């Protein structure tokens, strides 16, 4: 307990009474994921009041937030009592404490406010929904040009686009980043200061720290800085002022006393999109130098001599944090040791107190953190608590599992957890403080992708996939997933799962899938897939549909030749025409000779049509890689019309041919008045008419793909043209 005994006289700067009722704060919110309030928001406000003697006791209650979000202003009522966050030291009579030192020496109290659960409908605009609190008055500070203008605290909620769709805020989809600990209120001039802003995001989105302008009378109105001070260098320092944007570590060496306004923003990013920002606007007091005191040292070691698991290591040359990467299921164990060789005036060693924190530190393995299993922190061996003289050891234990890689039901390859190791000594008047982040990356167990994927057609309805199994020395395999898309560039969708690790073959139906492409991946135990395997094409061919001559055809002896067709899909590479001249099923292969040509092509020409061929049946066998089929039959009927002359083919042209169903026929003027009939492969008449112009237009785009014929006839001649619709 702090005692109201004496005033601190070492600090030269004090805040005027008329403008000292509060010195800053921050606004945050949380999104509830379960229970009766699932999908709703709750807003939180923290205000910091200068509580030295002579300061105003006034702080507003409730705090009302202004916003451009639907529903208007948000009222936040105070919860709990005010808490003195001023630093403690060994001599309570010297402590900086509320009502124990004069205003301006770093005595600060914290009050918390929160709203009821509320629903926000719609989506934020591109610039975000703002939530602000403005009040009078900003106290005087060394680095600002004005002291009487108001404070404006602020936070922003931004839209989030997931898989091409911008999410509605009802139900809510994000909690803002927040500060885990109150701010440091006072540091000593001349002593290196290393502190951490301890930002944290409940959803484990990426958090980025940044300097920002304090704002005054309204949202967007920036305060002005004195002389050499700027918003990103707001403190007097004999060394560079460094803010680590990733982990929030701040280091500088203050070299002038006073009260210094600063504003620090933390923004969270998801899938590369800024999703929320909040800002801490506050004052840091720099007090008199304490050259006899140095800040504690911090290092990490094994939790026990027998420990075989790794511990976090400093990441040289960047020694501002420790880092360790583990696989879900691994145990994380290490000791954090604070040391301080400074002595008190009594020549007894100073005491060190552990003040570390982290959103993943729980009260047990399963409670107290946002994403159990939780890490736990306990006093080291031989210690009864978290305060110890000369040296202080705490032990962190954490048995990770797959749940630590799954956030809000979504599996992630890696989730990064940040713990802040912090020790504070008990020197008077201003204790020494040291902190350093400890980064633990929890990786989902992974297994390699299937290798050397190939596809081999077996039949019209079966293509065999073959692959090599990936190495699985740790028994991490959880399944193979087969994905398909008709396009090479995707998107691929799952069509099957193979649960046996040793299975390295699978048959798929190319007809049912409509051809396309196949790739595969491996599923590990934490719902994380490997990368994709090679992509292979599966052939799609239906010869029974494409190779389909008409049931019967007619030839005229006067034309001497006749051609019959089958279409040529890309998967068919070989043809063989057959003839049954007996009409009793005695089929034999056609060979090229004076009667036939093209016996191994997709069209067969009968070179010498004669009446003896009447009733001959023809068919074609077609084959490709793993595919073979026989076309339907066509029966040839011969008309002995020696006295009729044929139409000169040069008088008729089909363009284009093949086509997509849209084509035109150019006809010589000499055929004006001739009749035409368009019919399909089965002999069904599609269209008939009389030639009355030099060009006829046809539209078969709604008809099935295949072979069509159009016959032109006059009193003395006839000609049939083949049209291929693809």
Number of H helices, E strands in the chain: 2, 53
Q: What's the average model confidence in pLDDT over 475-498? A: 91
pLDDT bucket at 60, cuts 50 / 70 / 90: confident
Which are the contacts of 13, defined by CB distance < 8 A and separation ≥ 6? 104, 142, 257, 258, 259, 285
Query: Which pLDDT score, from 0 to 100, does residue 489 have?
Result: 87
533 lies in the same domain as 549: no
Contact 45, 131 (CB under 8 A): no
Query: Which pLDDT score, from 0 to 100, does residue 648 have?
Result: 60
| Per-residue pLDDT reduced to its tens digit, 375-434 | 999 999 889 999 999 999 999 999 999 999 998 888 899 999 999 999 999 999 999 999
10: in domain: no
Query: Which pLDDT score, from 0 to 100, does residue 557 have?
Result: 66
Q: What is the CATH number of the domain that holds 526?
A: 2.60.40.10
Whether residue 65 is predicted with pLDDT greater than 90 in this model: the reply is yes
1: in domain: no
Residues above pLDDT 70, as percent of the chain: 90
- The residue that leads in pLDDT, 628 or 486, is 486
299: in domain: no
Q: What's the average model confidence in pLDDT over 225-238? A: 94
pLDDT bucket at 12, cuts 50 / 70 / 90: very low
Query: Which pLDDT score, from 0 to 100, does residue 289 have?
Result: 84
- Region of poorest pLDDT, from 550-559, 617-626, 640-649, 691-700: 640-649
Query: Which pLDDT score, from 0 to 100, does residue 7 have?
Result: 32
117 lies in the same domain as 221: yes
Whether residue 16 is predicted with pLDDT greater than 60 in this model: the reply is no
Whether residue 277 is predicted with pLDDT greater than 50 in this model: the reply is yes
92: in domain: yes
| Per-residue pLDDT reduced to its tens digit, 350-368 | 999 999 999 999 999 999 9
507 lies in the same domain as 612: no
Cα dist from 171 to 33, 281, 628, whole Å: 9, 30, 57
Backbone angles phi, psi at 287, to 5 degrees: -100, -170
- Region of poorest pLDDT, from 221-235, 352-366, 414-428, 665-679: 665-679
- The residue that leads in pLDDT, 42 or 616, is 42
Question: How many structural domains are present in the chain?
Answer: 5
522 lies in the same domain as 566: no
E strands in 288-330 = 297-301, 313-315, 318-327
Cα dist from 78 to 61, 112, 114, 137, whole Å: 6, 6, 7, 20
Residue 304, burial from CB neighbour count under 10 angstroms (0-12, 13-18, 19+): exposed
Q: What is the CATH number of the domain that holds 386?
A: 2.60.40
22 lies in the same domain as 164: yes
411 lies in the same domain as 499: no
318 lies in the same domain as 458: no
CA–CA separation, 90 and 92 (whole Å) = 6
460 lies in the same domain as 423: no
Whether residue 641 is predicted with pLDDT greater than 60 in this model: the reply is no
Which residues sit opposite 498 in a β-bridge? 480
pLDDT bucket at 53, cuts 50 / 70 / 90: confident
| Per-residue pLDDT reduced to its tens digit, 117-152 | 999 999 999 999 999 999 888 888 899 986 557 889
Q: Can you spell out the DSSP letters for 276-291?
A: EEEEEEEEEEEE---T
94 lies in the same domain as 225: yes
171 lies in the same domain as 267: yes
Q: What's the average model confidence in pLDDT over 659-678? A: 85
Domain end among 421, 443, 465? 443
26 lies in the same domain as 118: yes
Residues above pLDDT 90, as percent of the chain: 55
Query: Which pLDDT score, from 0 to 100, does residue 21 have?
Result: 74
Query: Which pLDDT score, from 0 to 100, does residue 549 have?
Result: 65
| Per-residue pLDDT reduced to its tens digit, 579-632 | 998 867 889 999 999 899 999 988 888 888 888 888 889 998 887 765 677 887
Instruction: Give me the domain span that covers residue 555.
Output: 541-644
pLDDT bucket at 552, cuts 50 / 70 / 90: low
Domain end among 610, 644, 678? 644
Query: Which pLDDT score, from 0 to 100, does residue 2 have?
Result: 44
Query: Which pLDDT score, from 0 to 100, does residue 473 have?
Result: 73
300: in domain: no
The three state secondary structure string of 477-489 is: CCEEEEEEECCCC
4: in domain: no
The three state secondary structure string of 74-85 is: EEEEEEEEEEEC
682: in domain: yes
- Region of poorest pLDDT, from 102-111, 228-237, 487-496, 562-571: 562-571
Whether residue 369 is predicted with pLDDT greater than 60 in this model: the reply is yes
294: in domain: no
Domain end among 510, 537, 564? 537
631 lies in the same domain as 658: no
pLDDT bucket at 640, cuts 50 / 70 / 90: low
Whether residue 174 is predicted with pLDDT greater than 70 in this model: the reply is yes
């Amino acid at each position: 307990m702090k005692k109201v005994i004496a005033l601190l006289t070492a600090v030269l700067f004090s805040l005027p009474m008329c403008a000292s009722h509060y010195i800053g704060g921050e606004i945050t919110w949380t999104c509830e994921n379960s229970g009766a309030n699932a999908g709703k928001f709750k807003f939180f406000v923290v205000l910091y009041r200068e509580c030295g003697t002579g300061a105003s006791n006034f702080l507003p209650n409730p705090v009302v937030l202004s916003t451009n979000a639907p529903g208007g202003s948000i009222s936040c009522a105070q919860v709990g009592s005010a808490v003195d966050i001023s630093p403690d030291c060994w001599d309570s009579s010297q402590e900086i404490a509320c009502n124990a030192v004069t205003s301006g020496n770093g005595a600060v109290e914290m009050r918390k406010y929160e709203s009821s659960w509320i629903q926000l409908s719609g989506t934020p605009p591109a610039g975000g929904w703002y939530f602000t609190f403005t009040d009078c008055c900003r106290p005087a500070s060394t680095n600002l040009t004005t002291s009487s203008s108001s404070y404006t605290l602020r936070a922003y909620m931004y839209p989030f686009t997931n898989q091409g769709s911008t999410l509605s805020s009802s139900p809510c989809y994000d909690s803002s980043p927040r500060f885990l600990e109150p701010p440091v209120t006072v540091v000593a001039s001349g002593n290196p200061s290393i502190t951490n802003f301890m930002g944290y995001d409940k959803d484990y989105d990426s958090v980025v720290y940044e300097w920002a302008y304090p704002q005054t009378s309204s949202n967007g109105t920036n305060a002005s800085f004195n002389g050499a001070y700027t918003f990103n260098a707001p403190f007097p320092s004999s060394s560079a002022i460094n803010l680590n944007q990733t982990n929030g570590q701040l280091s500088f060496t203050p070299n002038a006393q006073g009260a210094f306004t600063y504003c620090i923003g933390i923004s969270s990013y998801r899938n590369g999109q800024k999703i929320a920002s909040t800002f801490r606007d506050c004052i840091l007091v720099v007090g008199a130098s304490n050259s006899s005191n140095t800040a504690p040292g911090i290092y990490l070691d094994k939790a026990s001599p027998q420990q075989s698991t790794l511990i976090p290591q400093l990441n040289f040359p960047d020694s501002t944090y420790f880092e360790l990467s583990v696989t879900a299921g691994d145990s994380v164990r290490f000791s954090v040791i604070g040391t301080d060789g400074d002595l008190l005036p009594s020549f007894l060693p100073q005491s060190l107190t552990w003040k570390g924190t982290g959103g993943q530190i729980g009260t047990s393995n399963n409670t107290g953190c946002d994403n159990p299993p939780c890490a736990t922190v306990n006093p080291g061996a031989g210690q009864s608590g978290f305060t110890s003289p000369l040296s202080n050891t705490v032990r962190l234990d954490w048995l990770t599992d797959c749940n630590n890689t799954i956030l809000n039901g979504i599996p992630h390859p890696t989730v990064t957890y940040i713990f802040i190791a912090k020790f504070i000594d008990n020197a008077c008047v201003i204790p020494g403080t040291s902190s350093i982040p400890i980064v633990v990356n929890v990786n989902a167990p992974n297994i390699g992708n299937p290798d050397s994927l190939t596809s081999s057609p077996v039949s019209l309805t079966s293509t065999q996939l073959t692959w090599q199994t990936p190495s699985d020395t740790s028994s991490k395999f959880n399944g193979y997933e087969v994905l398909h898309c008709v396009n090479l560039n995707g998107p691929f969708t799952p069509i099957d799962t193979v649960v046996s690790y040793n299975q390295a073959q699978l048959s798929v139906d190319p007809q049912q899938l409509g051809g396309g492409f196949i790739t595969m991946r491996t599923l590990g135990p934490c719902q994380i897939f490997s990368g994709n395997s090679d992509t292979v094409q599966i052939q799609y061919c239906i010869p029974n549909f494409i190779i389909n001559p008409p049931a019967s055809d007619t030839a005229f002896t006067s034309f001497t030749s006749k051609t019959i067709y089958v279409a040529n899909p890309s998967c068919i590479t070989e043809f063989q025409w057959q003839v049954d001249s007996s009409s009793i099923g005695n089929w034999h292969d056609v060979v090229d000779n004076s009667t036939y040509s093209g016996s191994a092509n997709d069209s067969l020409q009968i070179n010498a049509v004669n009446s003896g061929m009447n009733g001959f049946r023809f068919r074609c066998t077609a084959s490709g890689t793993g595919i073979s089929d026989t076309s339907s039959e066509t029966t040839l009927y011969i008309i002995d019309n020696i006295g009729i002359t044929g139409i000169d083919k040069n008088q008729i042209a089909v363009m284009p041919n093949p086509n997509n169903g849209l084509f035109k026929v150019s006809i010589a003027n000499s055929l004006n008045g001739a009749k035409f009939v368009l019919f399909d492969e089965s002999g069904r008449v599609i269209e008939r008419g009389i030639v009355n112009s030099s060009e006829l237009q046809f539209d078969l785009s709604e008809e099935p793909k295949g072979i069509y014929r159009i016959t032109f006839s006059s009193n003395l001649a006839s000609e049939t043209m083949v049209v291929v619709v693809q």
